[in-house]
Amino acid sequence: MAKSLVIVESPTKAKTIGRYLGKNYQLIATVGHIKDLPKKSLGVEIEDDFSAKYETIRGKGKIIRDIKKAAGEADQVFLAPDPDREGEAIAWHIAEEIKKKNGKVARIIFHEITKKAIVEALKHPQELNLPKYESQQARRILDRLVGYQISPILWKKVRRGLSAGRVQSVAVKIICEREKEIRQFVSEEYWSFQAELEGSRKPVFIAKLARTEGGKSSVSNKEEADGILDELKNGTFKLVGIDRKERRRYATPPFITSKLQQEAAYKLKYSPKKTMVLAQQLYEGIELGDKGEQGLITYMRTDSTRVSEDALASVRGLIESKYGKDYLPEKPNYFKNRKSSQDAHEAIRPTSMDFAPEVVKPFLSSDQYKLYRLIWNRFIASQMTPAVYDVTTFEIECGRHTFTASGSITKFKGFTVVYTEGTEGADKKEDQLPELEQGEILKLLNLESKQNFTQPPSRFSEATLVKELEENGVGRPSTYATILSTIQDKEYVARKDGNFVPTEL
């Protein structure tokens, strides 16, 4: 029986899929793109409707010859590069190379490397997607027009070897503008006040000065601060308002690429580049002993929070069995995508609920395991019930001054039993307030004033720069890791205490 030929872009992916499909399928990897715009010329005919001139990438000649030979001997060719625009471009260039050797060429799309997904994709082959290929071409041409027309100016005026780019230039601009804000910032003095108070029941609690004579408290020097301290020491602290309400905190969506990069930076201290390398490994396949090579996560370049119905059914089953019915919502949680989302792929999630982190841990490196556990926990939590808190706020008057104190008690942990979103800096735990009655006179145990100074905006870390680029619609999540590496390699920015500062260059 003649073999079918399946062409992918990664050798690891070829190996994993080859094991699923068996001896009637031949797998070949292109090892990335096979064609690109020429290295030494613009390669774009501006006067001829921006037509692009592609050429074979150096070193890819043998791979193309091997693909052509295999295509000539195969009864069917399946093009299976990644399901994004870059993958579509690779598929398109291969199709152009082999069209004379074999007319039976189909595109297959899958978002996870599992046997079920691959077999399903082969049952439903598609035609090549011209609009997706053209969108990749348009982006590539824009990159080339910016890079090849601005970079020579930099070589002439500044230094050879520099580069400008459609996205990297904007990233550098954002960092420089932040630095300008920091340098122009004028710090202002202000004073804050806090009182340690005791009511008819324990515990004692801390209240902070919020308002003076109904307006925001604004004290800008020590003389003024000392005057207020004297007022407060001689005044009476009265509990004039108690606000008790139940607050619900809802589950966060499963990961998209940019959020994975941000959370891995916050929680694991991974750079976006490291995160994407590890995610690629988890996606393409890990050797799991007698289970063979398995893709552990879905495609890692995505801007969609969508999840398949099969995956929702699986995760809901796991939540009910492991955590109980109280942690399972009546219906699955669905999340809105951003308006700019392409929604081409699912969110980043585990491919199977059978591969819990502790099950696959022996087969993963320490870094792979930590990232996989992060993806797993975020996905499980995304389909759980809200956390419920009792939040209490006290309003306390002392003469013309109003203090406030807040506290919360967790009534039900909900999704936070599995996952809480990371932030830069530790989350402050709110204190528990005592059960007091409105109108009580409170005993002042201690009173403090503190001199403070307003702070300039902080410099961008890798995580906050990715967030800034994403919020401004600059670049795509799949390119952020490369951009952050490039602007450092070109010495446009450096790292100071882990944050970006522009260099003299």
Give the residue numbers marked as catalytic.
299
The three-point CA angle 451-457-460 to 5° equals: 135
Q: Which amino acid is at 135?
A: S
**Which stretches within 285-365 are classed as H helix?**
309-323, 357-360
CA distances to 17, 69, 71 from 74, rounded to whole Å, are 17, 9, 5
Compute, in degrees rounded to 10, the torsion defined by CA atoms 460, 464, 470, 473: -30
**Backbone φ, ψ for residue 25 (5° rounding):** -125, 135
In the three-class reduction of DSSP (H, G, I as helix; E, B as strand; rest coil), residue 470 is classed as helix
Q: H or E element: which one contains 494?
A: strand 493-496
- Count of CA atoms in the C-beta half-sphere (13 A) of 10: 15
Cα–Cα distances in Å, from 379 out to 91, 189, 308, 332, 382? 31, 45, 12, 12, 5
Query: How would you write 386-454 as a 3-class SS string?
Result: CEEEEEEEEEEEECCEEEEEEEEEEEECHHHHCCCCCCCCCCCCCECCCCCCCCCEEEEEEEEEEEEEC
Instruction: Please tell me the distance from the alpha carbon of residue 304 to that of residue 257, in angstroms, as a whole number.
Output: 9
Q: Are 469 and 237 in contact (CB under 8 A)?
A: no
Please give the Cα distance from 218 to 388 (Å, whole number). Answer: 35
Vertex 31: Cα angle to 169 and 56 (nearest 5):
75
Task: Report how far apart the first and last C-alpha atoms of the chain are (Å, whole number).
Answer: 63
Q: Say how far apart CA 355 and CA 169 lie, in whole Å.
A: 42
Q: Which of 102, 42, 41, 95 is nearest to 70 (CA)?
A: 102
Distance (Å, whole) CA 189 – CA 191: 7
Q: What is the DSSP letter of 100?
A: T
Burial of residue 7 (number of CB atoms within 10 Å: 0-12, 13-18, 19+): buried
Q: Cβ(423)–Cβ(252) under 8 Å?
A: no
- Residue with structure tokens 């609920």? 353
Q: Please give the structure tokens belonging to residue 306.
A: 């969508």
